[in-house]
Structure 1
Amino acid sequence: MTLQQINYALMISEYGSMNRAAEKLGISQPTLTSAVRELEKEIGCEVFLRTHKGAVPTAEGEEFLQSVGQLYRQYELVCEKFLDKDKKRKFGVSTQHYSFAVSAFIETVRQFGTLEFEFAVRETETLNIIKDVGTLKSEIGVLYISNYNRKPITKLLEENELAFTGLIKCRAYVYMWKGHPLAGESSIGLEQLEPYPCLSFEQNGQNGYLFAEEILSENIYPRMIKATDRAAMGELMKELNGYTLCSGILCEEMNGTDYVVVPFREDADNHNSIMEIGYIHKKHGTLSEIGKRYIEELRKSLAKNASPDPELDDAE
């Protein structure tokens, strides 16, 4: 098994097509197909299913690609550091849809500049965050853990040799447009929210509800709308009086002043919950200089934008 074969397989997985991968690699499709067949013969399993829609990883292939993805990214990092002095160094962050994480990313880019670094910020699904950091596509991931999702998240982190470091603990808040009928309330209970649609970022895969970005996702909401990006979420809030349940961290430089957060009021059947927001990284790896700076900027952004909660501070 060669690094070239690994690169070929990873490119096919990324583009989902032999033709597109071959075009990107600058080789013929028969050459690519032959190389993959030799690889599959050597490792003793089929990596891709060839369908009319493209090349889809098999179950064994998905496991193989995840393992070699880490290996190939390590190889790229070594090349970037020692072989190609003119090539830009890469730094990536994968995050749930947190404006404070993007704000911290922007500050990091400003400090290091784009001349020597190739930056990437990926607002994506929870499972993709874990996969990105596990395969070193991103150096750092930003997500939250609660009592509800702690077991499945921790299991996945262990499988991918990732460590979670908590940054802040928050209670649930209702996030909505400032023109929402309930925006002026001092607190909001679940019964008050029943006439309005609950908004949630879409999570693919089995048991997607376990990896929801929104706290209190285990509750039953009679009206639900899924979205995939923050811009769409904002429009749904304005046009449909939708709401979402979040940490209460409102980053005005990113979100503007059109949105408000109101404390969620628990009742006998719907208790409040605590979410711990933090970052993940490779357990046995060392954060780069730029990675450490990003963490510093994350802490600054949270300190600036999070509402203090004396009870949680005392509990820590």
Structure 2
Amino acid sequence: MNLQQLKYINEISKQGTINGAALNLYVTAPTISVAVKELETELGFRLFDRTAAGMRATQRGAAFIEYAQKILAELTNLEATFLSSEEPEQRFSISSQHYDFASEAFVQLINTSAESRFTYRFLETETKKVIHDVANHMSEIGIIYLSEFNAIPLHEAFRKNQLTFVPLLTFQPHAFLNRYHPLAEKKSLSYHDLQPFPVITFEQSTDSTIHYSEEPMELQSQAKVVIVSDRSSAINVLTGTNSYLIGSGIMSSMLTAQTLVSVPIESLAKHQIGYLLHQSLPPSPTAELFIEKLHQVITSKT
């Protein structure tokens, strides 16, 4: 069995006759006929019934042709990707915890890209997945939060996975609240002020320790907790309830800025957001451009 035989039977199934297949494939009808008979002998069953009206696939033949078509489709994709004379497609992927400014930098990357062909991916996900994706070269960059509470275990995870953490910003934590929240007019807040209200946290995998949380240590014992998996759900909960979300205080999107306020929290602890790179590879030009966009967005919002 070979790919040429699969191409022949696929074309016969499309055209309904050997002559029609031969015409489309620029070969002689006897060449196709011999190839099909050899394949049928090898398989031990007929692929087609020969009728006066042409060639009709048998029941087993139809099943075989369906599999053959899948193989030929993958071959076409393989050839298009690696044998094309066109400029190769630029691929770039980012895995990130849930940060508004990171997605804005991603938008700017898309708008300024000079590539003629590209596939860019921005994945918001949990802490372990950010580390896993960069460690396994599924993403070139990971955006992640560090604090005095989680720095030691996370730096150990970075070391084991040959990752480098590069700080982007050091920040005072802020509470994101809807504009009508009872605490929205406050100039600053303590964690004690926030205790009566539900805290929104982002979902982590069941085998993650508290050190993998995206929220400060002070929130780990809150009585009212709302867990979400994405920023869109977090914003919906924030705008419709008296809940709060702790973050850097940077609000990039117009929608967020119109519906929410951020109030600084009194804290002496050091909080950082940075990016991960794999130590085995230098940053690609696209990664360097994205990092530049990250710095530009952060500078414009702080």
**Alignment correspondent of 1:210:** 211
Alpha-carbon distance between aligned partners in 1 of 2:85 and 2:136, rounded to the nearest angstrom: 24
Q: Given the alignment of the two structures, is residue 179 of structure 1 paired with residue 180 of structure 2, yes or no?
A: yes
How much does 1:112 deviate? Answer: 1.1
Q: Which of the numbers 282, 286, 300 marks the counterpart of 1:286?
A: 282
Alpha-carbon distance between aligned partners in 2 of 1:253 and 1:188, rounded to the nearest angstrom: 24
**1:257-293 deviation line (CA, Å, top 9, x unaligned):** 2111101135xxxxx4221111101113111111100
Alpha-carbon distance between aligned partners in 2 of 1:222 and 1:278, rounded to the nearest angstrom: 30
Q: Which of the numbers 269, 275, 278 marks the counterpart of 2:271?
A: 275
Query: Which residue type is aligned with residue 297 of structure 1?
Result: K
Q: Once superposed, what is the RMSD of the aligned Cα atoms? A: 2.4
Alpha-carbon distance between aligned partners in 1 of 2:147 and 2:84, rounded to the nearest angstrom: 43
**1:134-182 deviation line (CA, Å, top 9, x unaligned):** 1111111111211111112111111211101111101111111111110
Give ranges in structure 1 of 5+ residues lacking alignment: 1-22, 28-75, 267-271, 307-316
Aligned ranges for residues 47-58 of structure 1 at < 5 Å?
none
Alpha-carbon distance between aligned partners in 2 of 1:176 and 1:229, rounded to the nearest angstrom: 17
Give ranges in structure 2 of 5+ residues lacking alignment: 1-66, 72-77
**Alignment correspondent of 2:29:** none
Query: Which residue type is aligned with residue 126 of structure 1?
Result: T
Check 1:84–1:94 CA distance in 2 against 1; reply closer, same or farther (3 A cut).
farther
Length, aligned pairs only: 227
Aligned ranges for residues 1-316 of structure 1 at < 5 Å?
26=70, 86=86, 87-112=88-113, 115-217=116-218, 219-253=220-254, 255-266=256-267, 272-306=268-302
Q: Does the residue aligned with 1:191 lie in a helix, a strand or coil? A: helix
Runs of 4 or more off by more than 6 Å in structure 1? Answer: none
How much does 1:209 deviate? Answer: 1.9
**Alignment correspondent of 1:30:** none
Query: Which residue type is aligned with residue 294 of structure 1?
Result: F
Alpha-carbon distance between aligned partners in 1 of 2:195 and 2:204, rounded to the nearest angstrom: 23
**1:196-228 deviation line (CA, Å, top 9, x unaligned):** 100000111324421111223554211111000
- Mark the structure with the bigger radius of gyration: 2
Alpha-carbon distance between aligned partners in 2 of 1:159 and 1:26, rounded to the nearest angstrom: 40
Q: TM-score by structure 1 length?
A: 0.67
Check 1:261–1:216 CA distance in 2 against 1; reply closer, same or farther (3 A cut).
farther
Q: TM-score by structure 2 length?
A: 0.69
Q: Does the residue aligned with 2:177 lie in a helix, a strand or coil? A: strand
Q: Does the residue aligned with 1:265 lie in a helix, a strand or coil? A: coil
Check 1:214–1:193 CA distance in 2 against 1; reply closer, same or farther (3 A cut).
same
Alpha-carbon distance between aligned partners in 2 of 1:133 and 1:254, rounded to the nearest angstrom: 30
How much does 1:249 deviate? Answer: 1.5
**1:84-127 deviation line (CA, Å, top 9, x unaligned):** 55442210111111010000011111111574110100011011
Check 1:84–1:152 CA distance in 2 against 1; reply closer, same or farther (3 A cut).
farther
Q: Does the residue aligned with 1:302 lie in a helix, a strand or coil? A: helix
Check 1:106–1:85 CA distance in 2 against 1; reply closer, same or farther (3 A cut).
farther
Query: Which residue type is aligned with residue 171 of structure 1?
Result: Q
Residues 143 and 276, structure 2, Cα contact 8 Å, conserved in 1: yes
Alpha-carbon distance between aligned partners in 2 of 1:136 and 1:110, rounded to the nearest angstrom: 24
Alpha-carbon distance between aligned partners in 2 of 1:233 and 1:248, rounded to the nearest angstrom: 15
Check 1:88–1:195 CA distance in 2 against 1; reply closer, same or farther (3 A cut).
same
Q: Does the residue aligned with 1:188 lie in a helix, a strand or coil? A: coil
Alpha-carbon distance between aligned partners in 2 of 1:85 and 1:234, rounded to the nearest angstrom: 46
Residues 161 and 282, structure 1, Cα contact 8 Å, conserved in 2: yes
Of residues 161-170 and 113-122 in structure 1, the stretch that sits farther from structure 2 once superposed is 113-122
Alpha-carbon distance between aligned partners in 2 of 1:172 and 1:204, rounded to the nearest angstrom: 24
Check 1:298–1:188 CA distance in 2 against 1; reply closer, same or farther (3 A cut).
same
Q: Does the residue aligned with 2:94 lie in a helix, a strand or coil? A: strand
Alpha-carbon distance between aligned partners in 2 of 1:141 and 1:210, rounded to the nearest angstrom: 17
How much does 1:130 deviate? Answer: 0.7
Residues 95 and 129, structure 1, Cα contact 8 Å, conserved in 2: yes
**Alignment correspondent of 1:69:** none
